[in-house]
Amino acid sequence: MNTSQSTDAPRLDALPGMEDLVENIRKSECTLFVGSAVHAPPPKNSPYRYPENARPPLGSELAEKLAEKCHYQDKFPGESAKDLQRVSLCFETEATLRRGHLVDTLDSLLRRGKEPSAALKMLASLPFKIIVTTNYDQLLETALRSQPDPKDPSVYVYNPQFHELTPKVEPDPSVQHPLLFKMHGDLDHRSSIVITDEDYITFIQRMSTSSDDYHPVPGVVRGKMQEWPTLFVGYSLKDYNLRLLFRTLRWGIDLVDVPLSYSVDRSPDPLIRSVWQDQNKLVAFIAEDIWTFVPWLYKKIHGKEFEG
């Protein structure tokens, strides 16, 4: 496989803030957020390959697969079958399916036979001490552990139970032993999955009402998100839930003290961009495909092209 970076890649160095972002990552003072679109296929002109059978379906595609199984459009004619939260709620309320079948189906679609992409392996190689993901699969863990110098992540999975104390986590994670917080659950922890409308309501309730001892997000993650910039890869900030989460994690901080974050989004929504970047200066949007941005970032940090 040809893994050399495309020679016609845009000069990301010229974008405002890129030098600061790279320097923060070099110093391991940046939190990485990884979303489902990190599994997106590379464009046709990319030197990288990620076969369809090796990658998990993305949000709308996953929703459509679930919709077929619960006959969503027969029940709700005229509605879109691409709304994952609503479709999954329909799926779990179907008498012949229920929650257990929903998680089994997610496991089958998202994990079995799937492999981390080159882009995910590149991200896993970078010196992040704290990584947050809303993905249920374990491809990120695989990418971390399969590095030439294998990393050993400390994995913490979201717990939806209000009454259970938040377990203690490593207060000072390192590059070789990063803290990986699975914010929306993990397929091996069946009750942890956040996917339906009702799951999101419970999640936000926990975020907004829990004391430090019961907060669903480890204190070290919340603290560093208020201190370090955050790099979002595989997300669109058009997602209302992501913006709500971002606001909640930084609630109570004066905007003057909020570190700038970065969102890799090939086509950022102009309204969201106006509010979050131009007006409030909370996020700098990097309008690039991840298959251009991630190899560029890998080379900036490691000083060479990715091979593997």
pLDDT in tens, 221-260: 888 888 899 999 998 888 877 787 777 766 656 666 678 8
pLDDT for 237 equals 83
State the pLDDT at residue 258: 75
Average pLDDT along the chain: 89
Q: Rounded mean pLDDT of 86-108?
A: 93
pLDDT at 7 over 60: no
Domain boundaries, the chain: 12-54+116-302, 59-110
Structure confidence by residue, pLDDT tens digits, 174-199: 999 999 999 999 999 999 999 999 99
pLDDT for residue 1: 43
3-class DSSP string for the chain: CCCCCCCCCCCHHHCCCHHHHHHHHHCCCCEEEECHHHHCCCCCCCCCCCCHHHCCCCHHHHHHHHHHHHCHHHHCCCCCCCCHHHHHHHHHHCCCCHHHHHHHHHHHHHCCCCCCCHHHHHHHHCCCCEEEECCCCCHHHHHHHCCCCCCCCEEEECCCCCCCCCCCCCCCCCCCCCEEEECCCECCEHHHCCCCHHHHHHHHHHHHHCCHHHCCCCHHHHHHHHHCCEEEECCCCCCHHHHHHHHHHCCCCCHHHCCCEEEECCCCCHHHHHHHHHHCCCEEEECCCHHHHHHHHHHHHHCCCCCC
pTM of the complete model beyond 0.85: yes
Pairwise pLDDT comparison (212 vs 225), residue with the higher score: 225
